[in-house]
């Protein structure tokens, strides 16, 4: 039987990480873990509970008693918080615009990373996020850093929002994405950064299929 490897996919907002990670996982019959969904899930609960998002201790205590599950549903993944399906709600602008505040806290990240490493411990995993190659799975056999211009990323997310019926203003979205990238890159603990041994793919003028092909070629190289 071929070796089950770990694949880390990082990059800024709306670069195409989850889209290609999902396809790569499907092709390999691997487990796909969307770590951004986990940070979105705790942000959703904290906002609902009216927790001060700057209060690291309160957020950590909340997370400790929160069950976050990612369940495969055909081609899609559904996200559950304490048994409640929050898949759609965690993508709303109110959540998106607050996740980077919650995710900057060291205690929150350490707890999330422990959960993510537990999920990945048997290999056969595709995980996407901001710190997977640098911090969560430093020994991943394949590390990818996806990027694209902010203009292109905002365009893609805007189209996605329109498709899903989520309110969306292109200029606002562009500002929000740039702002989130800045917060994620400048935070002290496990910031968004390309791992030294990650392969960078600029997807600005690539199709989803082309990005997947590039990644699959790297995967097969490492599996040999």
Ligand X SMILES: Nc1ccn([C@@H]2O[C@H](COP(=O)(O)OP(=O)(O)O)[C@@H](O)[C@H]2O)c(=O)n1
Of 6, 24, 32, 35, the residue at the interface with ligand X (CB under 6 A) is 35
Binding segment for ligand X (CB under 6 A), chosen from 36-44, 142-150, 198-206, 215-223, is 36-44
Angle, in degrees to the nearest 10, between helices 170-186 and 93-102: 10
Angle (CA) 71-73-78 rounded to 5° is 45
Relative orientation angle of helices 106-120 and 56-64, to the nearest 10 degrees: 30
Residues 186, 104: Cα–Cα separation, whole Å: 9
Is 35 one of the annotated binding-site residues?
no
Q: Smallest gap, in angstroms, from Cβ of residue 224 to ligand X?
A: 29
Task: Provide, rounded to whole angstroms, the least separation between the CB of residue 2 and ligand X.
Answer: 27
User: Do 183 and 96 contact (CB within 8 A), yes or no?
Assistant: no
In this structure, are residues 10 and 133 in contact, taking their beta carbons and an 8 Å threshold? yes
105 touching ligand X, by CB under 6 A = no
| Residue number with CB closer to ligand X (14 or 70) | 14
From 55-63, 66-74, 169-177, 204-212, span contacting ligand ADP (CB under 6 A): 204-212
Question: What is the C-alpha separation between 191 and 194, in angstroms, rounded?
Answer: 10
Q: Which is nearer to ligand ADP, 6 or 19 (CB)?
A: 19
CB of 22 to ligand ADP, least distance (A): 8
Residue 39 as a binder of ligand X (CB under 6 A): the answer is: yes
The runs of H, that is alpha helices, within the chain are 17-28, 35-48, 56-64, 93-102, 106-120, 150-164, 170-186, 208-223
Query: Which residues lie below 8 Å from residue 189, measured CB to CB, with a gap of 6+?
Result: 104, 105, 106, 109
Residue nearest to ligand ADP (CB): 16
| CA atoms within 13 A of residue 193's CA, in its CB half-sphere | 14
Of 30-38, 46-54, 56-64, 76-84, the segment contacting ligand X by CB under 6 A is 30-38
Residues that bind ligand ADP (CB under 6 A): 11, 13-19, 156-157, 160, 203, 206-208, 211
Residues that bind ligand X (CB under 6 A): 13-14, 35-37, 39-40, 99-100, 103, 129-131, 180, 184
Which residues fall in the annotated binding site for ATP?
A: 11-19
């Amino acid at each position: 039987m071929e070796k089950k490897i770990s694949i880390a996919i990082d990059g800024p907002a709306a670069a195409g990480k989850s889209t290609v990670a999902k396809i790569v996982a499907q092709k390999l019959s691997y487990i796909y873990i969307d770590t951004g969904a986990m940070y979105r899930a705790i942000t959703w609960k904290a906002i609902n509970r009216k927790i001060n998002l700057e209060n690291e201790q309160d957020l950590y205590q909340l997370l400790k008693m929160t069950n976050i599950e990612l369940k495969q549903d055909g081609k899609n993944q559904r996200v559950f918080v304490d048994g409640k399906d929050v898949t759609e709600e965690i993508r709303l602008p109110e959540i998106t615009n607050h996740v980077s505040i919650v995710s900057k806290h060291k205690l929150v990240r350490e707890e999330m990373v422990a959960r993510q490493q537990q999920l990945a411990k048997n290999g056969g995993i595709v995980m996407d996020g901001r710190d997977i190659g640098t911090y969560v799975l430093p020994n991943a056999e394949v590390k990818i850093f996806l990027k694209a211009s902010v203009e292109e990323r905002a365009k893609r997310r805007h189209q996605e929002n329109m498709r899903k019926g989520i309110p969306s203003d292109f200029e606002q979205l562009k500002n929000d994405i740039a702002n989130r990238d800045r917060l994620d890159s400048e935070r002290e603990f496990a910031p968004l950064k390309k791992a030294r041994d990650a392969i960078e793919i600029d997807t600005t003028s690539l199709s989803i299929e082309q990005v997947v092909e590039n990644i699959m070629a790297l995967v097969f190289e490492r599996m040999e």
